[in-house]
Amino acid sequence: MRVRLSVLAGAAALSGVLSFALLAAAIATDFWYIIDTERLERNGPGARDARGAANRSQPEPMSSHSGLWRTCWAKNRCAPLMNPFRQENVTVSDSSRQLLTMHGTFVILLPLSLILMVFGGMTGFLSFLLRAYLLLLLTGTLFLFGALVTLAGISIYIAYSAAAFRAALCLLEERALLDQVDIRFGWSLALGWISFFAELLTGAAFLAAARLLSLRREQERAI
């Protein structure tokens, strides 16, 4: 029983640290959403002059990659996204206000999940140290709740990206240009997904440890 409990403790610690590190990296990086216009710039009318030779005065690349807080272009030029918590004196359309609301929601949920993991790490250390059943149960529940918070934040971000794409599509006059633009989610979002699954694993490990400890106490009482 001690070996199995120690294995669960190690698994919970490893997956918990991994989940925290990956989610922190995802929040801090700017590769959640990537717009690659290389094909459009290569095949566009400005790419060649009248003689068919390559044009030397190429415009700056329009490709961009976005995070939760800002959008970046070539040469490390970045601009912060509109603050979703300061809308009182700004006149925006209903669709833009909805986007700001969604933005404000996921920038709260994802850091909140980090905070929950910090508290879960502290209670988890004490629960294994003291062999406290209720504390193990509480920690497992806390990590599972944090995983749901992470899932909600990622899901809202995906819905936000889809809504922003539809809004941009309505403003675009030449929609055929989109065929030459590669739009995709980036590796920052992938880190968020891996963190979510690691957080689930951490919660399951704590709940399994609580179950093992409960069975052990029942066996001791039966003797």
Quick one: tokens of 135? 């504390």
- Residue 75: its pLDDT value, please? 73
Determine how many CB atoms are found less than 10 A away from the CB of residue 191. Answer: 21
Tell me what the pLDDT averaged over the chain comes to: 84
Residue 201 predicted with pLDDT over 50: yes
- At CA 17, angle to CA 142 and CA 8, rounded to 5? 70
Residue 123 predicted with pLDDT over 60: yes
Over the stretch 6-62, which tens digit does the pLDDT of each residue have? 889 999 999 999 999 999 999 999 999 998 877 766 765 555 544 454 454 555 667
Amino acid letter for position 139: T
- At CA 77, angle to CA 188 and CA 164, rounded to 5? 55
The whole-model pTM stands at: 0.85
Q: Are 23 and 114 in contact (CB under 8 A)?
A: yes
Beta bridge partners, 54, equal 48
Q: Are 5 and 217 in contact (CB under 8 A)?
A: no
Over the stretch 59-115, which tens digit does the pLDDT of each residue have? 566 788 899 988 888 777 888 887 777 665 566 677 778 888 899 999 999 999 999
CA distance 175 to 78: 26
